[in-house]
Amino acid sequence: MKDSLQEQLLAEIDALTPQLFAIARHIYDHPEIKFEEFEAMRVLSSALEEAGFQVKRGVAGLPTAFVARAKGQPGGPAIGLLGEYDALPEIGHGCGHHLVGTIALGAALALRKVLSQLAGQVVYCGTPAEEMAGGGKITMAEAGVFDGLDAAMLVHPSTFGRTVMEANTLCGGRVIFTFRGKSAHAAVAPHLGINALDAVLLTYNNINALRQHLRPDVRIHGEITKGRRAYDAVSDLAEAVFNVQATDYAYRQETLQKVIRCAEAGALATGATLSMDVSPTFKEMRTNFTLARAFAEHCAAFGLEVEPADHSRLSETDMGNVSHIVPAIHPFVAIVPGSIQGHTSEFAAATISEKAMVGMIVATKLMALTALDFLTQPELRAQVKQEFGAERS
Ligand SMILES: [Zn+2]
Ligand SMILES: [Zn+2]
């Protein structure tokens, strides 16, 4: 039996549906890659501003990050609703982030309508650059953007056709190794050359030798991105990129240091010089199971079956960094028809189908109802906080 606030919230989302469809479609039609999401930020933040949210753009020194805040009665908790809106190069919205941004928008706009009846705040956090090792949330977390929140939620369309509450993510990030050598004629004067390509190949082989002695949860994968020269010229520039991942932050950092030594050994052996570019570290997601249960309880009413998490599926998200600061959830909701895998053109096309649009509204309702639970149930908040505290100690 729904109470009147829930009824009101759901009716507000129904009324918002045409606007949400239009915004999702607009972001889909204007795919912008990491840190270039100006159009997505414009439409999302102006919809919030028009609805009475106080908007700050360019937070944490990121031009396409923003925070929009609406306050109810004094006191009460602050619930963070996180939106993503970056696309992938070539593929466009192959991860469905136009839906992620719009789901949080719909939930925030609907909650704003009932907020005068409650104590607390609704905070929409516009988080850019989730893809391509951008880690917008990592920069925002380091700048303290999420510090005042009592909980944070991000709802993602399932990229594997099933509804699960737990995002199984690894802690990881990429490192680029650039080796500089000295070119020379490979036949006439090889002794004058320093072979940067050999430094990369040694690095690659050193890492392969290292693998046997790492924990089984570690993933190291990479590619050689530069190194080609004429076959009879010594390569003076070569580069490789690796992603180094593990299930926890401490072991991942330890492994990264070993991988760096593999590259240093390649440089030492060949005489090439090494420089490196280490991306921000995406921490592993710590799902708050109390809050996830509250979300899952609403799923049945919408005909969604919540399935157990598949621990063999491991990915990476900067929501992990948020989950180390505040209690957080990142449910995957099966709203895109079929079981098409994410990061493909097929998935991108499916995210804009009529079924996906209907699913987006369902996901918006799930997010809004869970946020309402959090705002109105002190006992739920206490349990969420207790679980978070127990995990940190
Ligand atoms: Zn993705
Ligand atoms: Zn994604």
Q: Which ligand is nearest to the CA of 131?
A: 1
Query: Where are any strands of DSSP class E within 43-196?
Result: 54-57, 66-71, 73-83, 119-126, 151-153, 156-157, 171-180
pLDDT band at 1 (very low <50, low <70, confident <90, very high): very low
Give the Cα separation of 143 and 317 in Å (integer): 18
Q: Which ligand is nearest to the CA of 315?
A: 1
Write down all domains in the chain, each with its CATH number in brackets: 4-169+284-392 (3.40.630.10), 171-278 (3.30.70.360)
Give the Cα separation of 323 and 42 in Å (integer): 27
Which tokens belong to 383? Answer: 């349990």
For 267-322, the pLDDT digits (tens) are 999 999 999 999 999 999 999 999 999 999 999 999 999 999 877 767 889 999 99
Task: Please tell me the distance between residue 191's alpha carbon and the centre of ligand 1 in angstroms.
Answer: 46
Task: Please tell me the distance between residue 342's alpha carbon and the centre of ligand 2 in angstroms.
Answer: 8
Q: What angle do the packed helices 249-270 and 196-211 form, to 10 degrees? A: 140
Q: Tell me if 103 sits within 8 A of 124, measured CB to CB.
A: no
DSSP labels, 238-258? EEEEEEEEESSHHHHHHHHHH
Does 207 have pLDDT greater than 90? yes
For 51-98, the pLDDT digits (tens) are 999 999 999 999 999 999 999 999 999 999 999 999 999 999 999 999
In 30-96, alpha helices (H): 38-50
Task: Please tell me the distance between residue 93's alpha carbon and the centre of ligand 1 in angstroms.
Answer: 9
CA atoms within 13 A on the CB side of 29: 7
Task: Please tell me the distance between residue 214's alpha carbon and the centre of ligand 2 in angstroms.
Answer: 28
Task: Please tell me the distance between residue 218's alpha carbon and the centre of ligand 1 in angstroms.
Answer: 20
Q: Supply the DSSP symbol for 54.
A: E
Q: Supply the DSSP symbol for 325.
A: T
Which of 354, 367, 365, 363 lies closest to 21, judged by CA? 354
Task: Please tell me the distance between residue 142's alpha carbon and the centre of ligand 1 in angstroms.
Answer: 22
Give the Cα separation of 180 and 195 in Å (integer): 8
Which of 244, 176, 173, 240 lies closest to 215, judged by CA? 244
Q: Which ligand is nearest to the CA of 83?
A: 2
Q: Which ligand is nearest to the CA of 101?
A: 2
**Ion ligand 1 contact residues with beta carbon within 5 A:** 95
Task: Please tell me the distance between residue 95's alpha carbon and the centre of ligand 2 in angstroms.
Answer: 5
Give the Cα separation of 363 and 302 in Å (integer): 9
Q: Which ligand is nearest to the CA of 127?
A: 2
Task: Please tell me the distance between residue 193's alpha carbon and the centre of ligand 2 in angstroms.
Answer: 45
Per-residue pLDDT at 2: 61
Task: Please tell me the distance between residue 131's alpha carbon and the centre of ligand 2 in angstroms.
Answer: 7
Task: Please tell me the distance between residue 5's alpha carbon and the centre of ligand 1 in angstroms.
Answer: 34
Which of 298, 299, 314, 308 lies closest to 372, judged by CA? 298
Which of 107, 91, 157, 133 lies closest to 281, judged by CA? 133
Give the Cα separation of 24 and 22 in Å (integer): 6
For 138-170, the pLDDT digits (tens) are 999 999 999 999 999 999 999 888 999 998 889
Task: Please tell me the distance between residue 351's alpha carbon and the centre of ligand 1 in angstroms.
Answer: 13
Phi, psi of 242 (to 5 degrees): -130, 145
Residue reference for tokens 């944490």: 60
CA atoms within 13 A on the CB side of 263: 24
248: β partners: none
Per-residue pLDDT at 393: 58
Residue reference for tokens 């606007």: 19
For 336-366, the pLDDT digits (tens) are 888 889 999 999 999 999 999 999 999 999 9
Q: How many other β-carbons are positioned within 10 Å of the β-carbon of residue 354?
A: 9
Task: Please tell me the distance between residue 378's alpha carbon and the centre of ligand 1 in angstroms.
Answer: 34
Task: Please tell me the distance between residue 197's alpha carbon and the centre of ligand 2 in angstroms.
Answer: 34
Task: Please tell me the distance between residue 327's alpha carbon and the centre of ligand 1 in angstroms.
Answer: 22
Residue 302's Cβ-count burial label (10 Å; 0-12, 13-18, 19+) is middle
Task: Please tell me the distance between residue 147's alpha carbon and the centre of ligand 2 in angstroms.
Answer: 23
Give the Cα separation of 265 and 287 in Å (integer): 38
pTM metric for this prediction: 0.92
pLDDT band at 392 (very low <50, low <70, confident <90, very high): low
Which tokens belong to 282? Answer: 């995406």
